[in-house]
Amino acid sequence: MAIRLGESIYHGKIDNSVKGVVTGEIVIEGFHDTLVLNLKGNCHPDLAGRVLTFRNPSIEMLDPYVSDALTSAQDGFVGEMTASKKRKIHTLSAEEFQKATPEEREAAYVWKNTLYLEWFSHYCGRIVIEAVDYKLAIDEPRWELNDEEIAEQVHQANTAMNMHLTMAVEMFQETNEEIRANEAEIDPHANDEFVWEKRLAQSDRRADAFHALMEEARTLEEMEQLAELAYEDKDEEEFSGPGPDFSEDADNYERDEYKPTREVAAICRSIKKLCKGLIKDGYDEMIGLPEQGEFLSLMVKSQTVSDMTMGDSGSGFERGFLIAHAKREIARSQRVVSGLTIFKQDCEPVPSVVPKLWELRDLLVNLAGKIRA
C-alpha cells in the first residue's frame, strides 16, 4: 500500500538541480527524523533543473502506523514529480455538501494546481505527497529536459510503478490464500454466532486487503486491471457455487432461521429511530473528528442489523449471523465512545452525542441477548 504523507508534511525541499538526480529533505509532524531523499531520475519539465521548497499551512499528526513504516533514508527512483497537475476540488463545506442538490454539488467544483511528488523507495515502497494548498517557491531552471530525456523519465517511472503494482498484487494474493486456508477450516454447516464471527473476520481481512490494493491505482483503467490480476489464479471451481447435490434441506445442514418477537421488533425500531436522530442532530459536531467515519458506519450498520433482524430484506437470517453482526456494532459503538471521551484533551468539550451513543450500545446489547434467548 502506498504511503501518503501530504497532510502530515511540515515543510520540505526537492532539488533536481543536477540532471539525473533528485535530492531533498522533508520534515514530517509525528516522525522522529527528517526524510532525506536521494533518488535516480528527474522531475517533470516544470520542476526539472529547479529547486522546489514547500510548506504546509495545515498540518496533521502522522499516523503512528505510517511512522513505523518509514525510514529516514529515502533511496530509490523518481516516479511522477510535478507542481502543475490539475485536481478537481469542491468548494462546499461538509455541512453544505450534505444539504446541496446534485446540481449544486456539481457546480461547486473548481480545478486547482496540485503538488504531486511520487517516488519509489528501496525500503518503504511507493511514497506519495499530494496537496493543493501548500505554499510553493520554485527557482529558475539550471537546465531543461529534451524530448528524449522526458520519454526516458516517463519510461523509468512507469517501470518502477509496474514493479510496485506487481508486488502489490502478489501481496494481495498471498493474503487471500491465507484467508482461504482459514476459511477452509471453518465448519460450513455451523451457524452459531462464534463461527459467524470467524467468517466475518476473514471477510473483513479480504475487504481491507482488496481496498489497499485498489488504492494503488492511479486511474479507473488501472483499477480494473489490478482487480483482474488479483484473482487471475483462482480455481474455477471456487466460482461455480454449490454442487448439483446441494440442498439447504439436507439432513446434515440444519438452518436456525430467526423469527423476531414483538419485543425484538420494538428494540429494532428504537435503534433505527435513535440512529436517525443522531445523524440529524449530532452529525455536525462530528465533522472533522477522527471518529467521524466510524460514527457514520455505526449509524448505517446498526440500522442494517435492525432491518435484517426484523426480516425487512424479505428473508429470515440465521440466529448466529444476526448475533455476530450485532456484536460487531456493539464493539464499534464502544470504540467511538472511547475515542470521543478518553482521548480528548481538557480544553476540548466532549460531544453531546455520547449519552445517546451509550443508549445505542445498550440497545444493541439487549438485541443480541434477545436474539440469543
Q: What number of other Cβ atoms are within 10 A of residue 306's Cβ? A: 26
The per-residue pLDDT for 292 is 81
Query: What's CA 51's distance to the chain center, in Å?
Result: 33
How far apart are the C-alpha atoms of 372 and 362, rounded to whole Å? 15
CA-atom Rg of the chain in angstroms: 26
Per-block mean pLDDT, blocks of 10 residues, the chain (373 long): 86 95 94 94 94 92 86 92 82 68 73 89 89 91 92 88 86 86 77 79 80 77 79 48 42 64 91 89 78 84 86 67 87 86 58 88 90 82
**How much is the pLDDT for 175?**
87
CA-to-CA separations, 50 to 17, 41, 136, 144, 308, in angstroms, rounded: 5, 14, 12, 9, 60
pLDDT attached to residue 242: 38
**DSSP per position, 184-243:** HTS-TT--SHHHHHHHHHHHHHHHHHHHHHHTT-SSHHHHHHHHHHHTTT--GGGGS-S-
Measure the N-to-C terminal CA separation of the chain; round to a whole number of Å: 44
Short-list 3, 12, 119, CA closest to 62: 3
Res 342: pLDDT: 65
Please check whether residue 141 is in contact with residue 98, taking contact to mean a CB–CB distance below 8 angstroms: no
pTM (two decimals)? 0.60
Taking the C-alpha atoms of residue 325 and residue 327, their distance in angstroms, rounded to an integer, is 5
Are 324 and 196 contacting, i.e. CB atoms less than 8 angstroms apart?
yes
State the pLDDT at residue 176. Answer: 84
One-letter identity of residue 253: Y
Q: What is the pLDDT of residue 201?
A: 84
